[in-house]
Amino acid sequence: MTLLDAGIFIDLFGIVNHMIMNIQANLSVNKTKAEAYQLWRKVEHYPFFLKHISNVSVVSDTVSEWSIKIPNEIDVFRIRVETVMDEVNEHIGWQSLPGSQMESVGNVKFTDAGKFGTAIHVSLTYHAPIGELRGPISKLLNETFEKLVKEDLKNMKRYLETGEIPTTQGQASGKN
């Protein structure tokens, strides 16, 4: 069964069940804690480097609405997120609000890494509806989503350090 088949299965049968996805990632950026913090604090910039987030609408200083793409674009979940912890240049924490299509909680911590700039630790937990698809499908979805988030964090690093995300899109593939 492919992920697309899984999406159709969920839609057809309306099975309600959830899978918890926990993702931990660490990276360092050649920027100060203040520079790294400022980029993370501006949630409206997330779609530039976090490709699994397709849109962010800022509602207030602490509330925003995110559209999150599921791998292979099976579906898009909309969540309303509140910043629940904000220690300038140190730590940002958030959680989804009631009524969101997916429950989420996360945080990012910034630590001085000396000559290496800033160490960033990201922790994300998504409570995603997936139906009664246990075992291989849920494991595959979690691994795929984790890979996507980690690639997004590399994009964030590139964006923070260079102001752009290198891409091969539009370039010749070298194939005849």
DSSP track, 58-91 = E-SSSEEEEEEEPGGGS-EEEEEEEEEEEETTTE
pLDDT per residue as tens digits for the range 97-141: 999 887 889 999 999 999 999 999 999 887 765 554 445 555 666
Number of domains the chain is built from: 1
**DSSP code at position 114:** G
| Residue 95: inside a domain | yes
Integer Cα distance of 67 and 100 in angstroms: 10
pLDDT per residue as tens digits for the range 67-105: 887 666 556 778 899 999 999 999 999 999 999 887 889
| Residue 175: inside a domain | no
Residue 3 burial (10 A CB sphere; 0-12, 13-18, 19+) = middle
pLDDT per residue as tens digits for the range 25-61: 888 999 999 999 999 999 998 888 887 788 899 999 9
| Residue 146: inside a domain | yes
Residue 110 burial (10 A CB sphere; 0-12, 13-18, 19+) = buried
| Residue 81: inside a domain | yes
Choice between 144 and 71, residue whose per-residue pLDDT is larger: 144
| Residue 55: inside a domain | yes
| Residue 114 CA from chain centroid, whole number | 27
Choice between 46 and 148, residue whose per-residue pLDDT is larger: 46
CATH of the domain at 89: 3.30.530.20
- Contact between 46 and 66 under an 8 Å Cβ cutoff? The reply is yes
| Residue 170: inside a domain | no
| Residue 167: inside a domain | no
Smallest CA-to-CA distance from 47 within 68, 16, 19, 21 is with 68
| Residue 94: inside a domain | yes
- The domain in which residue 85 lies consists of 3-7+16-162
